[in-house]
A and B are shown apart, each in its own frame.
Chain A
């Protein structure tokens, strides 16, 4: 079965960048599925951060994060990455890698906590 294993927790200073990895097992990269990144800040709502098709590398980002978020993939290691730049305190959140299927999210990574603090 498909499993998503994310990298560990990160602590970053304001203005820095963070890159989170999501290793995908039990699945061969095809054009059938996109992998999305979601986040939830403490006590806040969930936010969709964008998606990437691991096969062709096509990405889509919401306008609210345009210019700060970059999603990439490495087909040799079946890994997708999410990099967020110019970090600020409000980026403190748990970040999730999830598989998109029929406009829903059917497989979830375990989550990665990112803390932005000076």
Chain B
């Protein structure tokens, strides 16, 4: 189960946008529209932010959006707020299993 590649860190000032990439292969990200994104604050349980590439669960602000091109999925956080500072990771269905991203720490400057 090879991990999906994410940048270790990303940052932006309040009100700005930040985009995190999640790169896999044609066997996972590129092969299925089943990429999901999670936010995890220190010491807390992960929270689902995006599923099926670009769908938001009820209660997730529309500042969070997802997209995919080829083998790379992306999460964009617009209008950054202090509470968006957290770790973010992606997950993709890969046929018989799931693979996870390496995680990105987002810092709000």
Query: What residues make up the interface of A, taking CB atoms closer than 8 Å to B?
Result: 36, 45-48, 60, 62-64, 96, 101-106, 108-111
Q: Name the 10 nearest CB pairs between A and B, nearest first.
A: A104-B51, A104-B36, A103-B34, A46-B100, A48-B98, A108-B45, A62-B97, A103-B93, A45-B3, A106-B48
**Cβ proximity bits B88-109 to A, threshold 8 Å, 1 near / 0 not:** 0101010011111011000000
Q: Tell me how many residue pairs across A and B have CB atoms closer than 8 Å.
A: 53
CA distance A54 to B32 in the complex (A): 25
Smallest CB gap from B37: residue in A: A104
Interface size class of B (residues with CB under 8 A): 20 to 34
B57 interface residue, CB < 8 Å from A?
Answer: yes
A46 to B46, CA, bound (A): 12
Given A48-B1, A64-B1, 5 more contacts at CB 8 Å? A46-B89, A48-B97, A48-B98, A101-B51, A103-B32
Could you tell me if A62 and B102 are in contact, using CB atoms closer than 8 angstroms? no
Least CB distance, A101 to chain B, in whole angstroms: 8
